[in-house]
Amino acid sequence: MALKRIILIFILFTGVFVACSDVLAQKVQRVVLDAGHGGHDPGAVGKFSKEKDITLAIALKTGELIKQNLKDVEVIYTRKTDVFVELFRRAKIANEAKADLFISIHCNANKSTSPYGSETYVMGLHRTEANLAVAQLENASILLEEDYHVQYEGFDPRSPEGYIFFSMLQNAYLDQGLELASRVQGHFRDHVKLHDRGVKQAGFLVLYKTTMPSVLIEAGFISNAQEEKLLASENGQNKIAQAIYRAVRDYKNTIEKTPLSRYEPAVESPDPDPDTTDADEKSAAATGTEIGAASAADNLPVFKVQFLMSDTRLRDDAPELKGVPDAGYYRHQGMFKYTAGNVRTEMEAQQIKTALQRRGYRDAFVIAFLNGERISMDEARRMIKN
């Protein structure tokens, strides 16, 4: 079993590295909506409702909105009725469909009736006990599957030690998952008026085998009396579905190179995990962008093109960096993100991006830095305009 685990990790690491230059999809043409739980798995149970019913209603409503308003997008459901679908099969459905997005919809629950609000997860190592508890709750569905020990390589969702495995996994689509998750949270906060509990990471089995940007949404707490009413009501489900649809629409507009004037920056998580912004990573980010760095004495931003991502640092003479102008890197959430160029105008950066795309890095995109720290493109544009 240990040998199989090591082989699996090796494959996953290799897959991350190989997929790095292919991370951002150019189009969102196929979205998989995954209604959590179902059939003999009710999920979390409130005073008068079940998670499986709420998630199915929201998924179906979201799908209809996408089909009505995004005519070029195909919607695929992992379930359209009250049936049980194994977690591994949900990811398989998305992979075989060659989906561009995977969205798993859930309701949160807690032993206490006090917690409330929404949170959206991407695949990663849990950084708090609370995140671990949410992952354990959702992963417990595999206990209802036959031969789950075989299917999930002996993983026990009840054992905290088992989640050490997830600390060794990196998602090649992390940036894109974070982008979508941030937009979901922003629309939940602004349009549904749900308390924003932030974008988080944890080890969800339903996410770790997907080969596209994927998020798991906890739309609210079914264990909270007020939120259960919202989640179980037709009006509340409509609002939540509209928020998810808007997030998909905005994400699609962004990655499909919508004119810059229509670009909306992702909403930052109001309560980030402290580990993701520690001094070490900030130092690493600054160091990584020193290669070919332009002078920042005038306190103006510089533009770069992100074209590659790896879980390990590449050698300076690595073939992937050969011929790349002003190659550099910065670190974010444990990944080394490689950039090209270090120019003063966005137009120059766009030219570098075009050259990289011709070279094969078709998913390259422009980013901005100020004094070694990454900033949003909108902020960079405002600074230059002023």
Helix (H, G, I), strand (E, B) or coil at 228: helix
Evaluate whether residue 271 is within a structural domain: no
- Do 185 and 301 have their domain in common? no
- The pLDDT of residue 117: 95
- Please check whether residue 186 lies inside any domain of the structure: yes
Which domain does 250 fall in, by range?
2-260
**Whether residues 104 and 198 fall in one domain:** yes
Digit-coded pLDDT (tens) for 168-209 = 444 557 778 888 998 999 999 999 999 999 888 766 666 777
Return the percentage of the chain with pLDDT > 90, whole number: 36
Contact 307, 297 (CB under 8 A): no
Helices (H), the chain: 2-19, 51-69, 87-96, 129-139, 148-151, 174-187, 205-208, 225-232, 234-255, 279-288, 346-359, 377-385
Please give the model's pTM, rounded to 2 decimal places.
0.58
CATH of the domain at 365: 3.30.70.1070
Name the percent of the chain lying above pLDDT 70: 66
pLDDT tens-digit profile of 300-359? Answer: 899 999 988 776 788 887 777 888 888 888 887 667 888 999 998 988 998 898 888 777
The pairing of strands 328-332 and 335-343 is antiparallel
Q: How confident is the model at residue 20 (pLDDT cuts 50, 70, 90)?
A: very low
Q: What is the dihedral of CA 149, 153, 156, 160, to 10 degrees?
A: 170
pLDDT in tens, 91-110: 889 989 999 999 999 999 99
Residue 17 sits in a domain of what CATH number?
A: 3.40.630.40
Q: What is the tally of structural domains in the chain?
A: 2
